Amino acid sequence: MYFLYSVLLALALVVVSPYWLWQMLRHGKYRTGLRQRFGVIPARLRHRGGKCAWIHAVSVGEVLAISELARGLRAEMPDYRIVVSTTTDTAQKLAASRFGPDNVFYFPLDFAFAVRRWFNALNPDLVILAETEFWPNFLRVAAEQGARVAVVNARISDRSLAGYRRWKTLLRRVLAPVDIFLAQTPEDARRLTEIGAPAERVRVAGNLKFDVPPPRSCDITDQLKSALANSHAGPVLVCGSTVAGEEEILVRAFHAVVERYPEAVMLLAPRHPERFEEVAQLLTHSDSPFARRSRWQGESLNRSILLVDSIGELASLYALATIAFVGGSLVPRGGHNIIEPAHQGVPILVGMHTENFRDIVNVFQDHDAVRVIAADRLGETFLGLLSDDPERLGMGRRATAVLESQQGATRRMLHELQRLVVRSAHEAQPA
């Protein structure tokens, strides 16, 4: 099975290599860390002796989610070195800032030769995978090396469930090396057992993303807050993590808001940096005055759009919102995390496509702390909330209350990981 999988993976790599090359040339993506992905180990990361825990978090969302867990591991298991791998460039930068560049690297492609080099270099006693990183060769090599494996914040999305079901027989073998699955919800736990995870290894521990602390205010947030107050601008619509096909809808909705609220402002933050220029061109042709955050010098933003062409500032900018919209949801992209605006106590809108965050959105919906709306109703929903102060402010308060009620996953997962490590130590002792 593993040989055939590796052959198919190699063929897939050949097929997608032109796209990789194009992204490297056009946006510089994938170039950084390419050698690491193929198993070339920087000297700074080689095994230093002692125990090691390897945490893998694919992108920014997963890095944020595991950050408190990693801090907890350092506090509760101080004899362990904590290293973190990521897949995306933005996650790599965030992880390096949080855990130190000497402890952060790019996750290898799932070829046995590349994976084995990393295991030999790090010699991890514990491997922690965030969400659903079920890489067959990686898990097989982890078992060969004697590492304990935990999947934390485990979830099975609606979109991936059908595919997993088709490969259930093979998945049972792939998942066998995992010692414990810590699922976000009872439904995720049920789905994990349905696709082949041993039921006795599955626990419900909650969602780490609820435990992510609120962001610190950044310089641009303070500058914008002052500028908006000085020019008596508002209301402020903060539209974050938008994807292709959404900005046009949001601009039309903003035009409707400006007709009734002439001093309104929109902060528009595309999800992917490579789209900043594309969105700037769209705004140029939209008859909407706009400024780029990278060039903004404090001038008035009344009746205009600020294109947030920066990374890492959106979570703080939600504090300025009269209403927040979280993207990836007006078009079928699965949605993005609504917890960042919830931290700021602001009312939240999303589109109909929130499959990737179904459980989080459902919890907020159950408490009337988020509005799920169709694209053609976005403008009227903005206007309805702006004209109803009690409902708008109440939504924000309810969002914060829901967030606080769902916290505690980090503590539960730390407990389970410590039990796993202790059990492993006992089993390793000679009879």
Residues labelled as active-site residues = 62
Instruction: Give the amino acid at 26.
Output: R
Nearest residue to 296 (alpha-carbon basis) of 285, 287, 308, 288: 308
- Taking the C-alpha atoms of residue 323 and residue 287, their distance in angstroms, rounded to an integer, is 23
Is the separation of the CB atoms in 355 and 374 below 8 Å? no
- Helix (H) or strand (E) run with residue 39 in it: none
Residues near 34 by Cβ (< 8 Å), separated by ≥ 6?
none
- Taking the C-alpha atoms of residue 67 and residue 64, their distance in angstroms, rounded to an integer, is 5
Query: Within a 13 Å sphere around the CA of 97, how many CA atoms are in the beta-carbon half?
Result: 9
Nearest residue to 106 (alpha-carbon basis) of 121, 131, 89: 89
How many CB atoms within 10 Å of residue 157? 16
151 phi and psi angles, rounded to 5 deg? -105, 115
> CA 180 → CA 80, 119, 280, 322, 415, distances in Å?
19, 20, 46, 42, 12
Residues near 353 by Cβ (< 8 Å), separated by ≥ 6?
328, 329, 330, 331, 332, 333, 334, 335
Q: Is 250 helix (H, G, I), strand (E, B) or coil?
A: helix
- Taking the C-alpha atoms of residue 429 and residue 431, their distance in angstroms, rounded to an integer, is 6
Could you tell me the two tokens for 203? 């626990």
- Taking the C-alpha atoms of residue 107 and residue 115, their distance in angstroms, rounded to an integer, is 9
DSSP state, 173? H
Instruction: Give the amino acid at 110.
Output: D
Instruction: Give the amino acid at 116.
Output: R
